[in-house]
């Protein structure tokens, strides 16, 4: 690894100057540097070696920042955190619609496509999950942008940031879009070594070591990966000035009003936020920290202030991870002061039980580096992620229909908000979910659904009002075809007779 002995302190940019307070920190840093050098030396091909060396240097810089922060035991001064001011959060309904769509020619769309959907029992790229009318997340995104390009006669390219977990999968999937009115570019985000918690040394022993020893370091890696892959320069050379970033499982589409607002306000960075509900207590939030705007993630909150953070009183909004970035500003920041994003320490266990840590960053944390950066408080309809099978049920249901790849709320729905759905552990994995619903129930008039235990749904089931279904341990409930449940609590061991529970 081309890290000179003095390179630990070589990046002395302002606040990121590393002051090693303790001898142990220096020792650990040197040990890590030696291990990383050995990893780099396991690569034979010169070009691959150079790219891998660059990646390990980025990781090493993150690691030394982690050591310095650990030595200084820096914590947020909680009493300096305030709710953002009115000028820091702009309500969406105050934005004006653009007069024409010319600004779209300066836009590119990036989807963070590195996730595997393991929490839902998936093994491949999460964006390949079928969510609506036999279409996947990626299908819907392509449909949205293609519709935009053809109707507005513009050329908005789609950029997919993959991880080593999803790259091959993604390349295979996008072949089917070859004839669409859309240019698709893919690039790989960084691959960093997991660290043993005990020794703070890297898990892998060679550059091609098993996948389980590596991790993609969160969506905050977006900026580094854009720069090192050459995609940032390529976009600027094509005359693109703005980038709209969102997660692959969030189907909020390009919004021209936000783009126009960004141009008019000369804002270099905009984060879409939305009102917090009880379901969003873990979402990061924008705060005013000593007069500047910051992203505050749950992982950064001291344990004694967790309840305060989760409350809707002080922190009324949360980050949707829909982000708009000025590309020239990003290049300026990357080349001048660099981005020091707050480090999120993600503890995990290997299959053999060994404790490891992953050092990650969040894309929204870059907000503090840009001129005129602020939040736009958008309607909930722009934030429709699928993090669980409960979310999936909602999106697959008759609450939503599709228009050109966009999810649109069914006009027959009488209420503005969507129903609250809580499916138990039996529905946690996608295979179980698919097996337990012969067909997705009609829920247009549903307020709340809770299902726990071994429950199966037949075809053409209708759920209205509040429905709670609890199958006790060792028991099973089958909801028969054509059944209508309105404001019902069902529990026990029921093989329901259709007529008996046809409750209107």
Query: Strand 107-112 and strand 242-247: pairing?
Result: parallel
Q: Which of 157, 160, 102 is nearest to 127 (CA)?
A: 160
DSSP for 194-232, written as a single string:
-EETTT--BS-SSTT--GGGEE---GGGHHHHHHHHTHH
Concerning whether 439 is annotated as a catalytic residue, the answer is: no
Residue 152: how many other CB atoms lie within 10 Å: 16
CA-based nearest residue to 482, from 449, 456, 459, 457: 459
Rounded to whole angstroms, how far apart are CA atoms 421 and 467? 10
- The position carrying tokens 């404790």 is 355
Return left, alpha or beta for 372; rule: phi > 0 is left, psi -120 to 50 is alpha, else beta: left
What does the alpha-carbon distance between residue 502 and residue 487 come to, in Å, rounded to a whole number? 12
Vertex 419 angle, CA 493 and 145, to 5°: 125
Name the pairing type of β-strands 406-409 and 400-403.
antiparallel
Find, among 156, 116, 107, the residue nearest to 324 by Cα: 107
Which residues does 264 contact at the CB level (< 8 Å), separation at least 6?
none
DSSP letter, residue 425: G
Query: Which one is catalytic: 197, 331, 387, 422?
Result: 387
Q: Are 127 and 137 in contact (CB under 8 A)?
A: yes
What one-character-per-residue DSSP string does 55-114 give? HHHHHHHHHHHHHHHHHHT----GGGEEPPPTTTEEEGGGPPPPSSSGGGGGEEEEEE--
CA dihedral 111, 113, 118, 121 (to 10 degrees): 80
DSSP assignment of 341-399: PPPEEEEEE-TTS-EEEEEE--GGGGGGGSTT-EEEE--GGG-----SHHHHHHHHSTT
> Burial letters for 166-203: b for 16+ Cβ neighbours within 10 Å, e otherwise?
bbebbeebbeebeebebebbbbbbbbbbbbeeeebebb
- The residues that are catalytic are 387
């Amino acid at each position: 690894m081309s890290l000179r002995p003095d390179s630990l302190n070589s990046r002395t940019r302002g606040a990121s100057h590393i002051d090693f307070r303790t001898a142990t920190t220096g020792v650990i840093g040197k040990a890590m540097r030696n291990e990383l050098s050995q990893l780099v030396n396991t690569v034979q091909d010169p070009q691959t070696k150079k790219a891998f060396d660059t990646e390990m240097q980025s990781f090493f810089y993150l690691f030394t920042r982690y050591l310095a922060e650990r030595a200084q035991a820096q914590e947020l001064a909680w009493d300096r955190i305030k709710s953002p001011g009115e000028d820091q959060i702009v309500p969406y309904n105050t934005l004006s619609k653009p007069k024409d769509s010319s600004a779209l020619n300066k836009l590119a769309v990036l989807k963070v496509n590195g996730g595997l959907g393991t929490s839902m029992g998936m093994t491949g790229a999460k964006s390949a999950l079928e969510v609506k009318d036999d279409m996947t997340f990626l299908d819907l995104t392509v449909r949205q942008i293609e519709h935009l390009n053809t109707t507005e006669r513009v050329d908005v390219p789609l950029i997919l940031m993959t991880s080593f977990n999803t790259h091959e999968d993604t390349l295979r999937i996008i072949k089917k879009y070859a004839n669409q009115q859309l240019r698709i570019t893919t690039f790989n985000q960084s691959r960093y070594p997991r660290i043993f918690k005990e020794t703070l040394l890297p898990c892998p022993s060679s550059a091609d070591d098993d996948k389980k020893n590596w991790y993609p370091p969160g969506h905050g890696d977006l900026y580094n990966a854009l720069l090192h892959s050459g995609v940032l320069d390529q976009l600027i050379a094509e005359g693109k000035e703005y980038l709209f970033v969102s997660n692959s499982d969030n189907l909020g589409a390009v919004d021209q009003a936000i783009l126009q607002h960004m141009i008019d306000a000369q804002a270099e960075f905009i984060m879409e936020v939305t009102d917090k509900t009880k379901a969003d207590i873990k979402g990061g939030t924008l705060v005013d920290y000593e007069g500047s705007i910051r992203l505050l993630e749950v992982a950064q909150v001291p344990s004694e202030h967790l309840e305060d953070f989760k409350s809707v009183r002080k922190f009324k909004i949360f980050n949707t991870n829909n982000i708009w970035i000025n590309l020239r500003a990003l290049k300026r920041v990357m080349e001048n002061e660099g981005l020091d994003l707050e480090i999120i320490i993600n503890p995990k266990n290997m299959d053999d039980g060994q404790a490891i840590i992953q050092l990650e960053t969040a894309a929204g944390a870059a907000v503090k580096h840009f001129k005129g950066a602020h939040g736009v408080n958008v309607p909930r309809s722009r934030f429709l992620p699928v993090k669980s099978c409960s979310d999936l049920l909602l999106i697959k249901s008759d609450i939503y229909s599709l228009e050109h790849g966009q999810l649109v709320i069914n006009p027959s729905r009488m209420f503005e908000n969507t129903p609250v759905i809580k499916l138990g552990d039996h529905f946690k994995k996608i295979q179980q979910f698919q097996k337990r619903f012969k067909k997705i129930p009609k829920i247009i008039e549903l307020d709340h659904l809770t299902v726990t235990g071994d429950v199966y749904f037949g075809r053409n089931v209708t759920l209205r009002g509040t429905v709670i279904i609890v199958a006790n341990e060792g028991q099973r409930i089958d909801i028969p075809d054509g059944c209508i449940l309105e404001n019902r609590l069902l529990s026990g061991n029921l093989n329901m007779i259709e007529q008996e529970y046809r409750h209107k």
